[in-house]
């Protein structure tokens, strides 16, 4: 860059899934598009560099450890992770999008200063798309900036593998890392600030997940809110209200915050909500005409596939199409434990509160005769639960804790979006042996919800 000015049709701030996809599509129809990314290490966005892809690669690696030395195997797994990310980043945006390296800050509703080192360029665009994402939240407690305290990004390169790891936070990120590090060989303690472990799950499912993690060496402590970290030089003490936990490293998995600190949104008049996320309507329009916000920064569900759908919504917004954010129903989620835990729609607790006439079927994976795949691969932990509206036979929700659940939940979500009757899954013709066959048996055992 040089000290100059640039006018484009579209400026995208941040290289995440939604931003880079919409940038390529708009450039493909002949618009002049520029994309700003402040860090070359984040080309491609959060998912591919520091979140979904690298963490799942580490989870896959630990499943193959087979008793090998924990420290050396962890180091080799991290090296393999880095190689994979470098390979995936090799091919990114096509040349039709102008890439600007630097930090973007609004100077007006349709003007942005992009600073890189000592250089700055003023960019003007009638259409500006904010796609800066979110970052791990820090804890406002003493010692939170200590050298042994990590977030979900830096813990992936902790060196050496910690013998004792304390995970602060019992959300899906905390759970995934807790099991992963326990399998690499760390002694893991997970601290949940609330009184209930995994409150988003039905209590029986949460109890079984907790039992599984305990059997793998993860100690779960509820009602344990960290109040300070004390680095002693060779370890760190995690202090809660009534206990102290000693660790070689700490992972703080206490949620995420919008990455807006560099944007100077007030200069453009872009409003944010009480959490700091950019306020958008169902067409992803901010409070400023021609300025849009996509991906995690707009406060929606923080998943790559939702960010991709933001790209579709924004495309329709810019082309007078019908798609809206409020069209989304039955959006699935997966926590990548082993086996993975997936959910879509209602839990049993929510179904009881709904006032609907509900049928439920629940089966332990180990007892599903029509589902031999878990037995073939030696992973029979888990259960499958499906909730059905007794009046019209549509599916209200499912909890799928089993091998391949990250795929099965997509099928259930599709059935829900199409308004299909549960018999469509129960009587489906599925390949054999596959995990999908479970629906043939599980949905044949529906009973009235208590």
CB 383 within 8 A of CB 403: no
Ramachandran category for residue 207: left, alpha or beta (phi over 0 → left; psi -120 to 50 → alpha): alpha
Of 150, 187, 393, 432, catalytic = 432
Kindly list the distances between the CA atom of residue 51 and the CA atoms of 56, 108, 144, in Å, as whole numbers in the listed order. Answer: 8, 33, 21
What does the block give as tokens for 132? 């800066």
- Quickly tell me which residue has 């049993």 as its tokens: 348
How far apart CA 382 and CA 212 sit, in angstroms, is 9
How far apart CA 95 and CA 102 sit, in angstroms, is 18
Parallel/antiparallel/unpaired status of strands 447-448 and 358-364: antiparallel
Whether 187 sits among the annotated catalytic residues: the reply is: no
List phi, psi (to 5°) of 101.
-85, 125
What residues act catalytically?
432
């Amino acid at each position: 860059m040089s000290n100059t000015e640039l006018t484009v049709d579209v400026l995208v701030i941040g290289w995440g899934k939604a931003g880079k996809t919409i940038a390529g599509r708009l450039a493909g129809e002949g618009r002049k598009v520029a994309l700003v990314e402040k860090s070359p290490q984040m080309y491609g966005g959060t998912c591919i560099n520091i979140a979904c892809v690298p963490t799942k690669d580490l989870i896959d690696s630990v499943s193959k450890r087979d008793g090998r030395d924990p420290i050396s195997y962890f180091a080799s797994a991290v090296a393999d992770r880095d190689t994979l990310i470098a390979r995936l980043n090799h091919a990114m945006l096509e040349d039709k999008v102008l890439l600007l390296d630097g930090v973007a800050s609004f100077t007006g509703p349709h003007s942005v200063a992009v600073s890189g080192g000592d250089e700055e360029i003023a960019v003007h665009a009638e259409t500006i798309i904010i796609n800066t994402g979110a970052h791990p939240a820090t804890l406002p407690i003493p010692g939170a900036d200590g050298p042994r305290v990590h977030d979900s990004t830096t813990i992936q390169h902790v060196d050496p593998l910690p013998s004792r790891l304390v995970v602060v936070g019992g959300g899906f990120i905390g759970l995934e890392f807790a099991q992963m590090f326990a399998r690499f060989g760390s002694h893991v303690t997970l601290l949940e600030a609330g009184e209930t472990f995994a409150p988003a799950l039905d209590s029986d499912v949460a109890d079984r997940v907790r039992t599984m993690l305990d059997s793998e060496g993860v100690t779960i402590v509820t009602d344990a809110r960290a109040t300070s970290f004390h680095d002693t030089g060779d370890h760190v003490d995690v202090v809660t209200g009534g206990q102290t936990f000693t660790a070689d490293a700490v992972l703080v998995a206490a949620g995420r915050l919008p990455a807006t600190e560099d944007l100077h949104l007030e200069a453009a008049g872009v409003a944010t909500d009480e959490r700091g996320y950019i306020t958008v309507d169902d067409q992803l329009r901010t409070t400023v005409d021609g300025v849009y916000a996509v991906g995690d920064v707009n406060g929606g569900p923080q998943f790559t596939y939702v960010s991709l759908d933001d790209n579709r919504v924004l495309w329709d917004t810019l082309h007078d199409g019908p798609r809206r954010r409020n069209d989304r129903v039955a959006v699935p989620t997966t926590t990548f434990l082993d086996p993975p835990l997936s959910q879509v729609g209602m839990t049993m607790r929510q179904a009881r509160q709904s006032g609907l006439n509900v049928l439920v079927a629940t089966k332990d994976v180990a007892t599903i005769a029509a589902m031999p795949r878990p037995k073939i691969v030696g992973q029979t932990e888990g259960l499958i639960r499906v909730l059905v509206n007794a009046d019209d036979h549509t599916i209200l929700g499912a909890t799928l804790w089993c091998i391949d659940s990250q795929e099965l939940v997509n099928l259930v979500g599709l059935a829900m979006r199409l308004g299909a009757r549960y018999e469509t899954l129960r009587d489906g013709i599925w390949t054999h042996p596959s995990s999908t066959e479970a629906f043939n048996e599980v949905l044949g055992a529906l009973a009235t919800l208590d």
